[in-house]
Structure 1
Amino acid sequence: MAKRNGQASTASGRRTFTEEFKQEAVQMILDGHSVASVAKNLGVGNTNLLYRWKAEILARSGPAAKALDSQVLELREELHRTRRERDILKKALSIFSQQE
């Protein structure tokens, strides 16, 4: 079994990943990177695998991690609304400056 970057191949050719590798991948997702980009950057072909790792790690982490995950979601929604408001204000400013 040859190890490479947190990955190991078994005799059947199936890859296994170390717990540290899984935690690092999940942390990247929690930091805001998309699952697809994390999968591509780490060489994990199946995004479903990353979703499963995330669910397993969050389940072990308990309610504190789930609360953080929901807080991240709320903050992303707030950021989206704020950016939309900013864009509207920019357009309004350009319209009013052209009228003068």
Structure 2
Amino acid sequence: MSFPTTSWRPSTPSCRCADPRMRRSEFERAVEDEFGAAYGAVVTADLGLDALGGRTAAAAIAAGVDPREVWVALCAATDVPPERRYGVGRLEPRS
């Protein structure tokens, strides 16, 4: 699954863990982990999200909406439990 490329640049060169934003790649990983590749592609392309004005997840991301906001809206619309909504999509730190 891939989404249109948008420019993303952190406002400060701080640690990634302190940044509340979600990268598009983290969003894609979270969607695939939660829904699977095939269903994840369908749900992001076809499900209109009320919290995002009826836009699909893919359309919202293409329009520049923060992927975390899209992820939270997608989780709410699909009844993903709160314990699986936060911190997902991030890779484990390298040791």
Tell me whether the two structures share a fold, i.e. TM-score over 0.5.
no
Q: Shorter-chain-normalised TM-score: which range?
A: under 0.3
Of structures 1 and 2, the one scoring higher in RCO (CA 8 A, sep 6+) is: 2
* TM-score normalised by length of structure 1: 0.25
* TM-score normalised by length of structure 2: 0.26
Q: Which has the higher helix share?
A: 1
Larger radius of gyration: 1
